[in-house]
Amino acid sequence: MPDYGWPKAEDRTLIGKRITRVDAPLKVSGQAKYTYDTHRPGMLYGKIVRSPYPKSKIVSIDTSAAEKMPGVKAVHIIQKVGSTIHWAGDEVVAVAAVDERVAEDAARAVVIKYQQLPFFVSDAEPPAGAAETPGPLSYDDLADMADNQLPDPQIVSQVQQYGITFKPDADSAKSMKDDGFSESVIKAVAGATVHPGADSKPKSNFQKAAAQTIGDPDKTFSEAEVVSEGLYGIAAITHCCLESHGSISEWPEADKLFVHMSTQNVSGIAGQMAEPLKMPAANIRVHQDHIGGGFGSKFGPDRWGIATAEISKKAGGKPVRIMLERDSELEVAGMRPSAFARVKLAARKDGTLTGWQSQSWGTGGPGGGGMPPIPYVLAIPNQRKEHTAIRTNQGPARAWRAPSHPQAAALTMCAFEDMAAKLNMDPVEFFLKNIELAKPRQGIYSEELGIAADLMGWKQKWQPRGKNRSGNVARGLGLSMHTWGGRGHNSDCDLTIHPDGSVEIKMGSQDLGTGTRTCILIVAADSLGIPMDQIKLLIGDSSYPVSGGSGGSTTIGGVSSSTRRAAVDARDALFAKVAPALSVQPDQLESVGGTVRVKGDSSHTLSWKEACSKIGAMPITARGKNPDRAKPPDLTNSGVGGVQMAEVQVDTDTGIVEVKKMVAVQDCGLVIDLKTAESQVYGALIMGVSYALFEEKIMDPVTGRMLNPNMEFYRLAGLNDIPELVVHMMTGKGYDERGVIGLGEPPVVSPGAAISNAVANALGVRVPFIPLTPDRVLEALNNQDTKKAGA
Amino acid sequence: MYDDEDDPKHPDNGHERSGVSRRDFLKISGIAAAVPVVVGTPTVMAADTKLPVHGPGKVPMEFNINGKSYKAELEPRVTLLDALRDQFELTGSKRVCDRGECGACTVFLDGKLVYSCSTLAIAAQSRPILTVESITTEGKLHPVQQAFVENDASQCGFCTPGFVVACKAMLDQIPSPTPDEIRHHMSGNLCRCGTYEGIRKAIAQVAQKGA
């Protein structure tokens, strides 16, 4: 069994150092090619006609005028007459033409008539008692779920939980297959409990989604020394990838599809396109060099991606490019579910938390969504939780960097800070008092809290709520903690050493801008003892060995582990060929500094090139494969902790919040590249400032459409909004030996809660909902004044 | 302030004889200067001047991009950004918001920064256009680009070319910008991954060393 273990700290020449991103020169010079930049020979341009209504039935579609327009090469109906539309902006028809302007004209010439249906886009607090327990599912319910692009495992779990209203038979199985249901759903339906004749009345918009009781909350609250209550929430936001979703499809042969796609999931797209296109996945090749942002929203081909392939076929197989317009990108291609809660906390006078009670709600679009993991980080012994999922026509939710965690942090950490304020405790002391509830990471959090407090100057700056105010300027500090799993995914890696000394790596992975390319090369180069630029790295193509999608912070563990394995195996195979030339056993060799030499004997040294010339005619290829996920990981690990602190200044006249400083202290096990790792954390803090202060998907209750699907009114933070940022990575003893753990998600979890807490500390009153926009700040201040006047 | 904005102090009081408003006239004349009159081009009278009308079909156009001459037949409604990207495959300038909000399409036109998504190609004819592709010379990165690389000022990289162009423009003008000047000059570009920290460090590095 070869020793794959990470090199000892003193032997690492690249791992854990500050290495510059390898593809940065391409990006700064405009040479990096994204899907949106790709031009294929004879390429046509596609546009999509979208429903202007949030809920409607398609009554008629007339494409005749569009078809007759000069330059139009194909028209494709995506959702046929009779289909139900569940959100504004949903795809109905695609057109392809010789250039983009003609395609736009053609899209405008398509006439679609809709029957408008009642819709619901509000995620305001559900009326008391409105939430219904979901009943058995009708065939239409299942079809709606599929239309709503609910992931298969969720459909399966609902089928298993609630049963169905119809008797599954060969006919229903066939129609399910025709309607594009996956095998797993069809199988679940075949085995489901049947409730014949169950009421098939329209489902309520308010669905009881979760109810859980732990310990004895009633006794805890009746005996509580201190109880704190509050209302908290965080609005739905969008992903707003700068490169919008989209793809280029072409058919080089009648049964072979070649797709360029902006995707986080190069190896996983063909399998998702095969079923709707009714063709073998093996005949679909997917390629991507660079991606302009994904953040969790680009794992599937999407309905428009399938339509692109279909319209390309109709246009004789010619390449067709369809990239979403900015408004569609914001309306339909990404949403982080909202979450709100009324929270009640019980504690002893010394600050020890004893009880949690919450009524939460939120929307994840038509599917409703689930309850975030609350209470977050601290496992309070007595809990009662109820959650109402609101089914809305806002458009489907997608995983947004650290799914459900920023919401959980906002609901939990803000309630904790309110309790600390009620107890007149410094929040740092309050969290330390309860740190045992953060098992098993209490040690990490304690250490991080201390470091963060030092970096923030917490002791010198912190004052009780509302006490740091001069004139209309209020200042405050806040903190939040977070966690994430981040275990590496499966990621096969082929590493080839050629007889001329050149080295090549192939992996069906992708670099989202996190530094994946750089990290793969660092691991390979450190393992082989050669410079990074001597290795050719090929990623971003489905013809390379299968690698997992880049989501959930699983990539760095996945690719570093399999690259290490491939490199060690290939190196050992090289040693076996070289050993006779140096008259030693292979295990006496090492490869260091561009040489292969006998350990501890510098007189027996070959250059890397000389050593590789002993390979013979055929190159050495080793496949690195990560261990079965059922077994504990060896080179990687799971589970991190992070602490963040924010310092804000609020103008109490205008309600404008300015973040002055943020501190992030983060562990992620063994860091492969400190430079790009820190960039992940800086980026997360910046994204956090953005969603804490500005971002909100605002729905118009009258039209049911998003009011701000552009970058003027859907505001992202600009350079001017960014405070002093301090990032501290926990590395060295106690951290490195845990192995590699993902980093993308965790640091984006806390900023909203930390900033909200700082604002509460500054103002002396909680601004309940994030983003902390001036109107919300002023409303909270007004309510505070009214309360004072009334008291 | 853009030169085709109406002056609020002097609201447009009626139309010229041709039916072309003063606002339209300003636009037309801007284009007229850049588009040669070809025999047979339809004309319209505006402010006692005979003006050519281009389009709606394709019109021959000629550009000076990065010191080279480019020709194409384009509809007058095509933006400079789309001409650069889809006609000449100069894809360093990115299409993101497509309405002058994010700065990913920033280029130099007549030595000044413009959003190429909000500039018509037809109006950019015969005027020197410099894109991000011009900043790297003979494969050597410009000091601004080098500073972006060293300070990890790109993640996904989609906003990066726009920022590079905007930073270069600022540092060409103001070699050692104050924090306020940096705020002002960088306010026209947006990033989603959160690379502002690297960009700030890159600017500081170039400001110190000189470009």
- Dist. CA A403–CA A122, nearest whole Å: 21
**B33 interface with A at CB cutoff 8 Å:** no
Pick the CATH number of A9-32+488-624 from 3.30.365.10, 1.50.10.10, 3.30.70.100, 3.30.70.1400: 3.30.365.10
Instruction: Give yes or no on whether A9-32+488-624 and A398-486+637-790 have one common fold.
Output: yes
List all residues of chain B from 36 to 95 with a beta carbon under 8 Å from chain A: 75, 77-78, 82, 85-86, 89-95
Indicate the domain borders of chain A: 9-32+488-624, 35-119+239-332, 398-486+637-790
Residues B122 and B88 in one domain: yes
Percent of chain A at pLDDT > 70 equals: 98
Which residue of A27, A241, A660, A685 is the best one to mutate when testing the B interface, meaning the one whose CB has the most B CBs within 10 A?
A27
Region of A61 please: left (phi>0), alpha (psi -120 to 50) or beta: beta
Residue A192's φ and ψ, nearest 5 degrees, are -80, 155
Given this model, what pLDDT does residue A617 score? Answer: 93
Question: Please, what sign has the CA dihedral across residues A546, A547, A551, A554?
Answer: positive
* Distance of alpha carbon A457 from the chain centroid: 32
Q: Report the gap between the CA of B120 and the closest CA in chain A (Å).
A: 13
List CB contacts (< 8 A) between A687 and chain B. 192-194
Question: Do the domain assignments include residue B54?
Answer: no
| Shortest CA distance from B195: residue in chain A | A683
Listed residue (A628, A446, A636) closest to A553, CA to CA: A636
Question: Do the domain assignments include residue B44?
Answer: no
Question: Please, what sign has the CA dihedral across residues A581, A582, A588, A591?
Answer: negative
Both tokens of B7, joined, read: 């002056």
Residues 6+ apart with CB under 8 A from A321: A38, A40, A43, A44, A45, A46, A246, A247, A248, A308
* Helix runs in B6-114, H state only: 22-34, 80-82
Report cis status (omega within 30 of 0) of the bond before A771.
yes
| Shortest CA distance from A677: residue in chain B | B152
User: What is the rounded (10 degree) CA torsion for A133, A134, A136, A141?
Assistant: 160
CA distances from A86 to A58, A89, A166, A396, B200 (A): 11, 9, 23, 9, 43
Q: pTM score, two decimals?
A: 0.93
Residues B191 and B147 in one domain: yes
User: What is the rounded (10 degree) CA torsion for A250, A253, A254, A259?
Assistant: -30
Q: Report the gap between the CA of B149 and the closest CA in chain A (Å).
A: 5
Question: Do the domain assignments include residue B45?
Answer: no
List CB contacts (< 8 A) between B183 and chain A. 719-720
List CB contacts (< 8 A) between B158 and chain A. 34, 242-243, 292-293
Question: Do the domain assignments include residue B43?
Answer: no
Beta bridge partners of A355: A346, A382
Cβ of A28 and B89 within 8 Å? no
Question: Do the domain assignments include residue B24?
Answer: no
User: What is the rounded (10 degree) CA torsion for A427, A431, A432, A438?
Assistant: -170
Listed residue (A360, A356, A358) closest to A337, CA to CA: A360
CATH code assigned at B71: 3.10.20.30
Which residue of A242, A263, A658 is the best one to mutate when testing the B interface, meaning the one whose CB has the most B CBs within 10 A?
A242
The average confidence (pLDDT) of chain A is 95
Q: What is the CA radius of gyration of chain B?
A: 20
The per-residue pLDDT for range A242-275, each reduced to its tens digit, is 999 999 999 999 999 999 999 999 999 999 999 9
Residue A604's φ and ψ, nearest 5 degrees, are -105, 80
Q: Please provide the CATH number assigned to the domain covering A35-119+239-332.
A: 3.30.365.10
Given this model, what pLDDT does residue A467 score? Answer: 96
List CB contacts (< 8 A) between B195 and chain A. 679, 682-683, 686
Beta pairing, strands A724-730 & A657-667: parallel
- Dist. CA B85–CA A686, nearest whole Å: 30
Angle subtended by helix axes A269-277 and A302-314, to nearest 10: 60
Query: CATH second-level architecture of A398-486+637-790?
Result: 2-Layer Sandwich (3.30)
**What is the ipTM metric for this complex?**
0.94
Q: Report the gap between the CA of A225 and the closest CA in chain B (Å).
A: 44
Q: Taking residues A451-465, report their average pLDDT.
A: 98
Residues 6+ apart with CB under 8 A from A715: A690, A694, A695
Q: Report the gap between the CA of A631 and the closest CA in chain B (Å).
A: 33
List all residues of chain B from 134 to 163 with a beta carbon under 8 Å from chain A: 135-136, 141, 145, 148-150, 152-161
Cβ of A679 and B195 within 8 Å? yes
| Shortest CA distance from B190: residue in chain A | A718
**B177 interface with A at CB cutoff 8 Å:** no
Cβ of A683 and B159 within 8 Å? no
Cβ of B159 and A24 within 8 Å? no
Both tokens of A343, joined, read: 């929270």
Answer whether A719's CB lies under 8 Å from A441's CB. Answer: no
Please give the interface size between A and B, counted as residue pairs whose CB atoms are below 8 Å apart: 177
Q: Taking residues A702-707, report their average pLDDT.
A: 97
Banded model confidence at residue A25, pLDDT cuts 50, 70, 90: very high
Q: Distance between terminal CA atoms of chain B?
A: 29
List all residues of chain A from 44 to 83 with a beta carbon under 8 Å from chain B: 45
| Shortest CA distance from A676: residue in chain B | B152
A561 C-beta neighbours (distance < 10 Å), count: 29
Report cis status (omega within 30 of 0) of the bond before A632.
no
Q: Which position has the higher pLDDT, A2 or A471?
A: A471
List CB contacts (< 8 A) between B58 and chain A. none
Cβ of A29 and B99 within 8 Å? no
**A685 interface with B at CB cutoff 8 Å:** yes
Both tokens of B93, joined, read: 């300038």
The per-residue pLDDT for range A322-345, each reduced to its tens digit, is 999 999 999 999 999 999 999 999
Q: Report the gap between the CA of B145 and the closest CA in chain A (Å).
A: 6
Q: Report the gap between the CA of A483 and the closest CA in chain B (Å).
A: 21
Report cis status (omega within 30 of 0) of the bond before A366.
no
Cβ of A24 and B149 within 8 Å? yes
List CB contacts (< 8 A) between B132 and chain A. 29-30
Among A20, A241, A690, beta carbon nearest to B149:
A20
- Specify the long-range contacts of residues A102-106, CB closer than 8 Å, at least 24 apart: A102/A45, A102/A69, A102/A70, A102/A71, A102/A72, A103/A44, A103/A45, A103/A46, A103/A47, A103/A72, A104/A47, A105/A69, A106/A47, A106/A66, A106/A69, A106/A71, A106/A72, A106/A75
CATH code assigned at B148: 1.10.150.120
Both tokens of B125, joined, read: 């004819």
Burial category of A128 from C-beta neighbours within 10 Å (exposed 0-12, middle 13-18, buried 19 and up): exposed
Residues B182 and B121 in one domain: no
- Dist. CA A275–CA A277, nearest whole Å: 5
Given this model, what pLDDT does residue A200 score? Answer: 56
Answer whether A441's CB lies under 8 Å from A641's CB. Answer: yes
Worst-scoring range by mean pLDDT, A146-150, A524-528, A762-766?
A: A146-150
Question: Do the domain assignments include residue B18?
Answer: no
Which residue of A330, A550, A719, A726 is the best one to mutate when testing the B interface, meaning the one whose CB has the most B CBs within 10 A?
A719
DSSP A552-585: TT-HHHHHHHHHHHHHHHHHHHHHHHHHHHHTS-
Beta bridge partners of B68: B65
Q: Report the gap between the CA of B106 and the closest CA in chain A (Å).
A: 12
Cβ of A100 and B86 within 8 Å? yes
Cβ of A28 and B101 within 8 Å? no
Residues B183 and B123 in one domain: no
The per-residue pLDDT for range A474-533, each reduced to its tens digit, is 999 999 999 999 999 999 999 999 999 999 999 999 999 999 999 999 999 999 999 999
Question: Do the domain assignments include residue B116?
Answer: yes
Given this model, what pLDDT does residue B3 score? Answer: 37
Answer whether A620's CB lies under 8 Å from A574's CB. Answer: yes
| Shortest CA distance from A32: residue in chain B | B92
Answer whether A508's CB lies under 8 Å from A544's CB. Answer: yes
Question: Do the domain assignments include residue B15?
Answer: no
Domain boundary pick from B97, B128, B159: B128
Which amino acid belongs to residue A133?
A: T
Q: How many residues comprise chain A? A: 791
Which residue of B86, B144, B155 is the best one to mutate when testing the A interface, meaning the one whose CB has the most A CBs within 10 A?
B155
Among A30, A241, A290, beta carbon nearest to B192:
A241
Answer whether A47's CB lies under 8 Å from A55's CB. Answer: no
Query: Structural domain tally of chain B?
Result: 2
Residues B116 and B169 in one domain: no
Cβ of B194 and A242 within 8 Å? no
CA angle A90, A96, A99 (to 5 degrees): 120
**A291 interface with B at CB cutoff 8 Å:** yes
**Enclosing H/E stretch for A139:** helix A139-147
Which amino acid belongs to residue B180?
A: D
Cβ of A716 and B135 within 8 Å? no
* Distance of alpha carbon A29 from the chain centroid: 28
Residue A180 has pLDDT above 80, yes or no: no
| Shortest CA distance from B137: residue in chain A | A29
Among B131, B135, B156, beta carbon nearest to A291:
B156
Domain of B117, in residue numbers: 59-128
A581 C-beta neighbours (distance < 10 Å), count: 14
Q: How many residues comprise chain B? A: 211
Question: Please, what sign has the CA dihedral across residues A708, A709, A713, A715?
Answer: positive
Beta pairing, strands A284-287 & A256-261: parallel
Q: In tens digits, what is the pLDDT along chain B, a chain of 211 residues?
A: 333 333 444 434 333 344 445 455 444 444 544 555 555 678 888 888 888 888 889 999 999 999 999 999 999 999 999 999 999 999 999 999 999 999 999 999 999 999 999 999 999 999 999 999 999 998 899 999 999 999 999 999 999 999 999 999 999 999 999 999 999 999 999 999 999 999 999 999 999 876 5
Given this model, what pLDDT does residue B112 score? Answer: 96
